[in-house]
């Protein structure tokens, strides 16, 4: 059933408006990247090493991944609304802790707590799947994440300027203000969309093996995870490349840093526009190929000795386009393998994607050292891009085999 006709804005007795879903997804992305241009200054403020302050990305992603495994089944049992509101409340408290921290370990502790905002991103997708069927869900998720892409597109640029004018803490003050505003919006607009589950919470978690046994679920989840690995390794390594390899200021780095999000916006538009007609599998494959092509072009430019900040960040636009096509469609595919487990599937698929992202982000921070240039990051991105293509090709081949068996 299509519930969108019954949506009434700021009426929590009806399903949420798409604008609310966009903002729920967007603040999670903003919390991930607004402060990245500040990492060099934060390293000096906390009197630590870059690889340690860079953990503020990796630990956020790691806790993010763990929470996604938990919030899916919990929301299938308790409903989307209370879990989302609770996550936003924890995020606001943790953000205040980040602002007031004077010790790197205290900061990292509160940074881990900030990951509670992932409930908003994960469950905004589950809400979409609650409302509409698979191909329509891919299209709607594409539009939701297209709007979401605007936020991280301008986030690093805003963060870089705030850093230069007011200091790095200003980024977290902004996140706190936005978190409080989002809590109010969700309280007023976020109607419950999940059908009541007759299972206990323990039984809900026992549904995971049903997903684990599905090759299609794994194919979609790994396609999204590996393709997005190129982007997450970028999150971990690009601040170093921008500041240490190309000597960019925080404001310059913030502007360059948002380039992949421009591509992500375009890719999500393409998903919203064409997924229903082209189909989930082909959209994922095309996106994964564009992702790899962008990284390959960047490597070729550097191999020819013509690499620059403009070429490095510019070709990352194709990584954004590829991810903007891959992630909404692979997510819709994963959520539709077992529609009655949409929240659980959203959490597990997101955990796989973000968990791989945390590993890629941390690995990028470890591999990049003075004198290495951008090469460790580019090779890491290319490896994940190739694995993303392989994952969706396996899904497509399996579906063809199953179709042949059905016709036999």
Residue 242 lies in a domain: yes
Distance CA 348, CA 316 (A): 27
pLDDT over 60 (residue 254)? yes
pLDDT at 391: 94
pLDDT at 2: 44
Q: Which two tokens stand for residue 295?
A: 């990284």
pLDDT at 404: 80
pLDDT at 312: 95
Residue 6 lies in a domain: no
pLDDT at 197: 66
C-alpha to C-alpha distances, 362 to 23, 54, 233, nearest whole angstrom: 27, 8, 8
Span 191-235, pLDDT tens digits: 887 776 666 677 767 777 878 888 888 999 999 999 888 888 888
Domain that holds residue 215: 13-407
Please, are residues 336 and 32 in contact by the beta-carbon 8 Å criterion?
no
Distance CA 340, CA 326 (A): 23
Residue 277 lies in a domain: yes
More confident residue, 1 or 382: 382
Ranking 83-97, 126-140, 168-182, 209-223 by mean pLDDT, the lowest is: 126-140
The average pLDDT across 97-111 equals 93
The CATH number covering residue 28 comes to 1.20.1250.20
C-alpha atoms less than 13 angstroms from C-alpha of 377 in its C-beta half-sphere: 29
Please, are residues 288 and 382 in contact by the beta-carbon 8 Å criterion?
no
pLDDT over 90 (residue 292)? yes
- Nearest CA among 313, 289, 319 for reference residue 301: 313
More confident residue, 135 or 370: 370
More confident residue, 403 or 374: 374
pLDDT at 307: 92
Residue 8 lies in a domain: no
What are phi and psi for residue 267, nearest 5 degrees?
-65, -40
Residue 2 lies in a domain: no
Average pLDDT value for the chain = 85
Q: Which two tokens stand for residue 251?
A: 């404001």
- Nearest CA among 294, 348, 298 for reference residue 325: 294
Residue 1 lies in a domain: no
pLDDT over 60 (residue 80)? yes
The average pLDDT across 3-30 equals 77
pLDDT at 1: 39
Confidence of residue 150 (pLDDT cuts 50, 70, 90): low
The average pLDDT across 104-125 equals 90
pLDDT at 91: 97
Ranking 2-16, 124-138, 227-241, 271-285 by mean pLDDT, the lowest is: 2-16
More confident residue, 201 or 49: 49
pLDDT at 403: 79
pLDDT over 50 (residue 183)? yes
Q: Which two tokens stand for residue 79?
A: 């409903």
pLDDT over 80 (residue 11)? no
Q: Which two tokens stand for residue 59?
A: 């630990």
pLDDT at 145: 67
Span 311-341, pLDDT tens digits: 999 999 999 999 989 988 998 888 777 766 7
More confident residue, 126 or 63: 63
- Nearest CA among 131, 123, 106, 110 for reference residue 31: 110
pLDDT at 113: 95
Give me the number of domains the chain comprises: 1
Residue 123 lies in a domain: yes
- Nearest CA among 363, 244, 323 for reference residue 331: 323
Q: Where are the alpha helices (DSSP H) in 190-249?
A: 201-205, 208-212, 215-240
Which residue, chain included where needed, has tokens 């989840």?
221
Global pTM reads: 0.72
Confidence of residue 71 (pLDDT cuts 50, 70, 90): confident
**Angle at CA 283, nearest 5°, toward 33 and 402?**
125
Residue 73 lies in a domain: yes
Element (H, E) at 110: helix 104-114
């Amino acid at each position: 059933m299509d519930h969108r006709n019954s949506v009434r804005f700021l009426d929590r007795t009806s399903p949420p408006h798409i604008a609310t879903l966009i903002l729920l997804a967007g603040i999670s992305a903003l919390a991930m990247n607004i402060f990245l241009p500040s990492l060099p200054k934060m390293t000096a403020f906390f009197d630590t090493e870059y690889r340690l302050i860079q953990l503020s990305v990796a630990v956020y992603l790691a806790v993010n991944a763990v929470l996604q495994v938990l919030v899916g089944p919990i929301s299938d049992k308790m409903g989307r609304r209370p879990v989302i509101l609770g996550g936003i409340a924890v995020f606001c408290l943790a953000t205040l802790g980040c602002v007031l921290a004077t010790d790197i370990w205290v900061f990292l502790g509160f940074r881990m707590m900030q990951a509670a905002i992932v409930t908003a991103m994960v469950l905004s997708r589950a809400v979409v799947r609650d409302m509409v069927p698979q191909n329509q869900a891919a299209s709607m998720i594409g539009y939701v994440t297209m709007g979401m892409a605007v936020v991280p597109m301008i986030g690093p640029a805003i963060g870089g300027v705030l850093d230069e004018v007011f200091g790095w803490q200003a980024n977290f003050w902004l996140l706190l203000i936005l978190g409080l505003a989002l809590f109010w919006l969700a309280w007023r607009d976020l109607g419950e969309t999940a059908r009541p589950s007759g299972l206990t919470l323990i039984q809900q978690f026992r549904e995971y093996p049903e997903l684990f046994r599905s090759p299609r679920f794994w194919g979609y989840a790994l396609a999204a995870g590996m393709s997005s690995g190129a982007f997450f390794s970028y999150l971990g390594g690009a601040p170093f490349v921008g500041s240490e390899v190309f000597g960019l200021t925080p404001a310059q780095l913030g502007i360059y840093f948002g380039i992949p999000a421009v591509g992500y916006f375009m890719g999500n538009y393409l998903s919203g526009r064409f997924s229903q007609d082209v189909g989930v599998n082909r959209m994922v494959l095309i996106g994964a190929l564009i992702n790899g092509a962008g990284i390959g072009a960047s490597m070729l430019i550097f191999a020819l000795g013509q690499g620059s900040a403009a070429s490095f960040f510019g070709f990352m636009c194709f990584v954004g386009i590829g991810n903007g096509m891959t992630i909404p469609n692979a997510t819709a595919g994963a959520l539709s393998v077992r529609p009655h487990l949409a929240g659980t599937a959203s959490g597990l698929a997101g955990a796989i994607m973000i968990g791989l992202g945390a590993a890629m982000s941390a690995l990028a921070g470890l591999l990049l050292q003075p004198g290495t240039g951008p090469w460790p990051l580019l090779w890491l991105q290319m490896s994940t891009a190739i694995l993303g293509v392989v994952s969706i090709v396996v899904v497509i081949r399996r579906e063809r085999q199953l179709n042949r068996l059905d016709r036999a």
